[in-house]
Structure formats: C-alpha cells, structure tokens
Homo-oligomer: A and B are copies of this chain.
C-alpha cells in the first residue's frame, strides 16, 4: 500500500470474524446440461458451502465464483481441519467486507473442477472409468448455467450480488449477460473481457508442459495410477510468475541467494526465487488435477462475450440490468487496469450503472486475494449499499 500512512489515520474494523468450521454440501442434477460446445453433460453434482442465513425475502444471497485454482471453500475452516482456511476468508465473514451477519453467501465448486464437483477424475457412468480426457470442454457460460440451476435448487430467484476475482470476475460478468434479471449487482475484480494473445500464450505453454509429461497418458492417467506431477508443477510455476508483479517479486526475493552469499556454480536451487517457485509448483501438483488445469485454462481462453457481436463489447453488455462494480490493481500485469476500463467504458456506452476503482497496490494480479485495507474498505462500502437496498 503506497498510501498506508494515510490509512493508519483512518482505522478500519479488523477483519477478525470467522464463519467457523463449515461442512460442504452437495447438490445433484440429473437433467443433462447443454454446453456451449453443443454437447450435453450429466448427471452431475456440485459441491458448495453457505455462510450466513438467507433472509425471509430471499433478497440477501451473494454468489462467490472461484478462479483457476480455488474451490467452494471460500470462508471459514473445515470441521476436520481448523487450518483449512477458505481462500477468501479475509473478504467473507462476520464484520468483513462481505458481511455474513447480513448476507447469505454461497461458494460453489465449478463443473470440471477437482474439489468435489463432477470433474475429469469422476467416474463416467457410461463406462465405469474416470472421465479423464473424455470430460467435455466447459466454458464460463456453462459454469454460469450450472450455478443458476444450483440457485434454483436453493430457491434463490435473484442474487443481491454475484462476485469474483480474475476468472471469478468473468463469471460475475457472464451472469449479468446470461441472467440479467437474476442479479442486482455484478462485482468484477481484477478481470478482463477477454484474454490477450500473451495471456493465451502463457496458458498454452502451461498446457504443453502438462500434456507432454509422459505420466499424462493422453489425459487417462488415473487408470495408470500416475499423475503428471512434473508437468503440472511447471505449469503452476509459469502461472505463478504472472500472478505476482515484477516489483513485488523484486522486493520479496530480489537476487537473494539461498543459504549463502556466494554463488555455487550449479543448477541446484541458488536463488530464493527458484526455491519459492519450485515449492509452489510441487505443492500445487499434490492437490490439483492436471485435466482440470487444462479445462480451466481453456475456459479462460474462450471467454469473450463480445465474440458474437463482432467484437463489440458494449453490444454484448446491452442486455445487462444490474449495477456493476469493477475493481483493478495498478501492478496487475496479467489483467491490467486497461482491461477493466474496457468493461467500464462498454457499460457506460450502454448507460448502465457502473462504479470503478483502480487500487494502487504492489501485489500484481494476486492483489485481489490480499488483505489490502483500501480495497477491503471499498468492497465493504459497496456491500453496505447492497445490504441497505436488500433491507439487511
């Protein structure tokens, strides 16, 4: 925070409240879902968590959409593991920016993921074997339709807000296009209306690393009892570089050597940044599914609501009925502020209500997950307004 000094003078309430241990729930969908690819898929299940209480008017529901490597476990801990803290626990909880004393918050694991919802590792009822490479290609729009069915099951006709960062922000935006009457606010953070060639390039290299790992077996590695761990680890390392800003990396690691101040003239870990990245890659490869990584990066590549409107984003957004909050971060070079501004301008062209904030934060793309007081105060203030509108 470059303006930290200013903020010290204006204390904010500490985000210490937790929703506590949370038991995930499962929703079953027997009717197949028609996908953007033309395929039908089903039956399937989605796992989800909820925090807070749905009010009588059913006017206080907030849907949180996850990004590449996250899940339905947004806030709180797990009954069996107090250290398994949700990925956006600093954002969602009692007294937090998305205040669970006021809102009924839903976190849902997307179709194709690897944290409980039906995905490539699930058993294909057609042949009794894991889907693997036979799992269909899924788009952001498909996820939104699957989430809408979950909302139906939960009896939520309209969300107070749909919210997400990065790929999660794409889903929030897609909600405002696909189901204009089913949300009052779209909160789109650190996102983009479409990947650039450079974004796609990074995804493609990551995918090449995975599919060329001999343990990948064309995506059917489950049956071979192998995991393309090395490829997945390299993929994660590539991704990780794009999540951090150059400056942030320089500040955290710089050229610091590991355990010495002299070069060792070899190829083992020499610099701290190498150690950090290897660790991140290896850790990721123990819990994430390689086929899911392929699917989700492809969903990122494909997202482009303007595509059916000859590239005119404002046309794509002409159906929007909700208000939108767009937030970007100055040092995010994955989805830099210009991309958010493109969405803002398209909404303004259509005279849709939109609020935009560009946060001066050093943490690159990952800033959307960080506990930045200015950012959290902004989201808190916006949700306070949403709460007032919802009568909570």
Contacts and interface: CB of A to CB of B under 8 A. Distances in A.
B249 A201 contact: yes
Contacts of A237: 201, 204-205, 208
A254 interface: yes
A230 B212 contact: yes
Given A197-B273, A198-B241, A301-B271, A265 B37 contact: yes
A265 B198 contact: no
Given A273-B201, A277-B205, A196 B249 contact: yes
A118 to B, nearest CB: 18
A220 interface: no
Given A204-B277, A208-B281, A255-B304, A196 B250 contact: yes
Interface in A206-264: 207-209, 211-214, 230-231, 233-234, 237-238, 241, 244, 246, 249-250, 252-255, 263
A197 B254 contact: yes
Looking at A39, A137, A241, the one whose CB has the most chain B CB atoms below 10 A away is A241
A195 interface: yes
Contacts of A273: 197, 200-201, 204
A302 interface: yes
Interface in A171-223: 194-198, 200-202, 204-205, 207-209, 211-214
Contacts of A39: 265
A245 to B, nearest CB: 9
A278 to B, nearest CB: 7
A64 to B, nearest CB: 27
A99 interface: no
Contact of A271 (B200, B249, B270): B200
Contact of A241 (B201, B213, B252, B278): B201
Contact of A253 (B197, B202, B213, B277): B197
A136 B267 CA distance: 11
A255 B212 CA distance: 24
Interface in A257-294: 263, 265-267, 270-271, 273-274, 277-278, 281, 294
Interface of A: 36-39, 136-137, 194-198, 200-202, 204-205, 207-209, 211-214, 230-231, 233-234, 237-238, 241, 244, 246, 249-250, 252-255, 263, 265-267, 270-271, 273-274, 277-278, 281, 294, 298, 301-302, 304
The 7 nearest A-B residue pairs measured at CB: A37-B265, A197-B249, A212-B230, A137-B265, A197-B253, A197-B273, A205-B237
